[in-house]
């Protein structure tokens, strides 16, 4: 399973690649705010008439292999509910 590392920011970047002969190149970057990037694109388009943008999203991915998978020569073991011990003190396992 691949998930986003919740302890890191997502970086959103937009670059204007429109222009008559040469790409405009204006760009905008925001952390954890895709709506701010979209707002900048709309404002830039309205101001310049440019309509073509490259958008990128950068995050940190974490891989959690399934239980039993062999990773770097080791068998991956995921914790199981029964491995955590009794739910209440003194309860049988």
The answer as to whether 56 is a domain residue is yes
Q: Helix/strand/coil (H, E, C) string of the chain? A: CEEECCCCCCEEEEEECCCCCCCCCCEEEEECCHHHHHHHHHHHHHHHCCCCEEEEEECCEEECCCCCCEECCEECCCCCHHHHCCCCCCCCC
Q: Which of these, 54, 58, 56, lies nearest to 44 by C-alpha position?
A: 54
Print the domain residue range for 54: 2-84
Predicted model pTM:
0.67
The answer as to whether 91 is a domain residue is no
Q: Please say if the pLDDT value at position 3 is more than 90.
A: yes
Average pLDDT of the residues in 75-81: 57
Phi, psi of 5 (to 5 degrees): -70, 110
| Overall number of domains in the chain | 1
Average pLDDT of the residues in 43-47: 97
The answer as to whether 29 is a domain residue is yes
The answer as to whether 89 is a domain residue is no
């Amino acid at each position: 399973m691949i998930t986003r590392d919740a302890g890191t920011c997502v970086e959103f970047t937009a670059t204007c690649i429109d222009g008559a002969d040469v790409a405009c190149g204006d760009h905008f970057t925001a952390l954890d705010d895709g709506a701010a990037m979209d707002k900048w694109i709309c404002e830039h388009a309205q101001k310049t008439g440019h309509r073509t943008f490259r958008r990128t999203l950068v995050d940190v991915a974490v891989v959690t292999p399934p239980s039993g998978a062999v990773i770097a020569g080791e068998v991956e073991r995921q914790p199981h509910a029964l491995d955590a011990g009794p739910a209440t003190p003194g309860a049988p396992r």
